[in-house]
């Protein structure tokens, strides 16, 4: 088994899933000490599936299986995910709920005071063929209606970790990325940013300042861009441009934040200890990537393959003055630094693409306010 992301020499999704959902010693310690039941909303998403699998694996490895883990996800087939969790069905319970149309009665089988809630549901990208109006409507639902339903259901006796986003922050210079306390200020046309801002407001309205015997505590993680180093996010654009002899346009993307799925999953799980009654907020942003600098590293990796030994690196455009960047140092100071370096991510992503690994073929919009 591979000890690091850079050692993976496979293009099988199951191998990437194994690595990105592998708990480290911090996760095993935290899960072993805390034997609460767990509820996970959005349990099967492209990123959140690795959070779910990591938690389940940690529970099994620490033999704390007397608890129950409730997984809430959209009612659609996902055989790969179902196969991954099949060995753990003695303590895992799946609930198929269409959150877009959900009512309070749909949550009646979800325990209210389960003690540990991960809210990972969201709506980032428009579906193929979805018009702007329908996309905006769904963003509104995920920004206001759905969080109102969920956080009202869990407003007492819970520690809640919420995956948000720093999409909607004002762009900054490279030397002054946004801190945790900076307000989200998305433009009206930035539907996803508006959704994230509204979600934060709903959480504060429901959980902050309410008088309960034992009010729930929460932490919001303003996530950046996460990559599974294969099919989702990362350096796909730069790698494909280089191997297809196209220039990398620095005017489109010159700096961005990036974190591997494994590191983002570890931070998400560990953040439960940061939940507070006044709802704390932290940037989960990861590495600050200099595209021009890392493009040289990417080209060096590509040149290791015989057919591309003489590939040329070309640039066009000039970097803008400001970029969508967030400072995640406060969270790293509390939880620890990422395990996967930028070099590790590049090596794994180049290997995946150069060996014909499956690509989703979507525009990931890394570094953009969307």
Which pLDDT belongs to residue 41? 98
Question: With b meaning 16 or more CB within 10 Å and e meaning fewer, what string describes 348-369?
Answer: bbbbbbbeebeeeeeebebbeb
Sheet of strand 69-73: strand arrangement: 92-96, 69-73, 38-41, 116-119, 159-165, 217-223, 280-284
Which pLDDT belongs to residue 209? 61
Which pLDDT belongs to residue 157? 93
Along the 370 residues of the chain, how does pLDDT read in single tens digits?
Answer: 789 999 999 999 999 999 999 999 999 999 999 999 999 999 999 999 999 999 999 999 999 999 999 999 999 889 999 999 999 999 999 999 999 999 999 999 999 988 899 999 998 888 888 888 999 999 999 999 999 999 999 999 999 999 999 999 999 999 999 999 999 999 999 999 999 999 999 999 998 866 777 899 999 999 999 999 998 889 999 999 999 999 999 999 999 999 999 999 999 999 999 999 999 999 999 999 999 999 999 999 999 999 999 999 999 999 999 999 999 999 999 999 999 999 999 999 999 999 999 998 877 878 887 7
Residue owning tokens 């995640």: 328
- Whether the full predicted model's pTM is greater than 0.85, yes or no, is yes
Question: Please, what are the domains in the chain?
Answer: 11-229+261-287+324-338 (3.40.50.720)
Which pLDDT belongs to residue 125? 84
Q: Are 69 and 59 in contact (CB under 8 A)?
A: yes
Query: Which structure tokens are listed for 48?
Result: 């959140």
């Amino acid at each position: 088994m591979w000890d690091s992301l850079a050692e993976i020499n496979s293009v099988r999704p199951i191998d990437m899933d194994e690595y990105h959902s592998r708990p480290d010693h911090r996760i095993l310690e935290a899960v072993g000490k805390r034997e609460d039941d767990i509820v996970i909303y959005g349990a099967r998403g492209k990123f959140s599936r690795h959070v779910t699998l990591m938690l389940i694996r940690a529970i099994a490895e620490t033999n704390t299986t007397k608890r129950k883990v409730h997984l809430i996800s959209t009612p659609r087939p996902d055989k790969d995910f179902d196969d991954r969790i099949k060995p753990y069905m003695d303590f895992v319970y799946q609930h198929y709920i269409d959150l877009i149309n959900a009512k309070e009665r749909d949550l009646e089988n979800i325990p209210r005071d389960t003690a540990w809630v991960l809210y990972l549901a969201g709506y980032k990208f428009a579906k193929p063929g979805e018009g702007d109006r329908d996309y905006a409507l769904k963003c509104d639902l995920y920004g206001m209606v759905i969080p109102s339903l969920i956080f009202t259901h869990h407003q007492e006796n819970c520690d809640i970790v919420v995956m948000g986003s720093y999409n909607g922050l004002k762009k900054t210079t490279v030397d002054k990325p946004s801190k945790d306390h900076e307000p989200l200020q998305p433009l009206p046309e930035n539907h996803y940013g508006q959704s994230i801002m509204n979600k934060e407001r709903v959480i504060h309205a429901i959980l902050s300042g309410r008088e309960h015997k034992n009010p729930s505590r929460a932490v919001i993680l303003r996530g950046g861009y996460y990559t599974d180093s294969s099919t989702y996010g990362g350096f796909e654009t730069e790698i494909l441009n280089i191997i297809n002899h196209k220039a990398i346009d620095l005017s489109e993307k010159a700096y961005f934040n990036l974190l591997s799925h494994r590191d983002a999953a570890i931070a998400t799980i560990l953040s439960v200890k940061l939940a507070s009654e006044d709802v704390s907020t932290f940037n989960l942003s990861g590495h600050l990537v200099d595209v021009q600098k890392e493009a040289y590293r990417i080209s060096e990796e590509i040149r290791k393959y015989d057919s591309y030994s003489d590939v040329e690196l070309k640039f066009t455009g000039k970097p803008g003055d400001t970029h969508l960047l967030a400072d995640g140092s406060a969270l790293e100071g509390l939880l620890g630094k990422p395990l996967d370096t930028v070099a590790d991510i590049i090596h794994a992503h180049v290997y995946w693409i150069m060996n014909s690994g499956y690509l989703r073929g979507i525009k990931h919009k890394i570094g953009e306010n969307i």
